[in-house]
Amino acid sequence: EPEVTQTPSHQVTQMGQEVILRCVPISNHLYFYWYRQILGQKVEFLVSFYNNEISEKSEIFDDQFSVERPDGSNFTLKIRSTKLEDSAMYFCASSRGMGNEKLFFGSGTQLSVL
């Protein structure tokens, strides 16, 4: 079965540094998402992306965050100046369409901000 690929699996960074989390969604999918999960708790929505632009974003997704789909296959999440509270598992996900189309998740990037 096709899958969403995320790299790296683990990222350690110093507070204030920029990080880029990378994702390759499933090739025929049209909707892309970033979610995060702190310490196995609630899965929090960050942003959704469709037709080369952000379609929805949460309060968490402030000016420190940005997303990009630079080349038609990769989908990246950038955190400009990381804070301690950004430490979490970041999941990329994609969906073929709306309605009953399920969300396919990547295996996540565990971000640790020191």
Partner 1 sequence: AQKITQTQPGMFVQEKEAVTLDCTYDTSDQSYGLFWYKQPSSGEMIFLIYQGSYDEQNATEGRYSLNFQKARKSANLVISASQLGDSAMYFCAMRVDTGNQFYFGTGTSLTVIP
Residue numbers at the binding site for partner 1 (CB under 8 A): 31, 33, 35, 40-45, 48, 50, 55-56, 89, 91, 93, 95, 98-100, 102-105, 107-108
Distance separating alpha carbons of residues 65 and 77, to the nearest angstrom: 7
> Tokens for 112?
């640790």
**Residue that the structure tokens 């994609």 belong to:** 94
CB of 41 to partner 1, least distance (A): 7
Q: Which is nearer to partner 1, 14 or 40 (CB)?
A: 40
**Shortest reach from residue 21's CB to partner 1, in Å:** 15
Distance (Å) of CA 47 to CA 13, 29, 76, 94: 22, 16, 11, 12
Nearest partner of 108 among 93, 95, 85, 90, judged by Cα: 90
Please identify, using beta-carbon distances, which residue of 42 and 62 lies nearer to partner 1: 42
Residue 86 CB, nearest distance to partner 1 (Å)? 18
Residue (41 or 52) nearer to partner 1, CB: 41
Distance CA 36, CA 45 (A): 7
Minimum CB separation of residue 102 from partner 1 in Å reads 5
Q: Tell me whether residue 76 or residue 103 sits nearer to partner 1 (CB atom).
A: 103
Return the sign of the alpha-carbon dihedral for residues 67, 40, 26, 51: negative
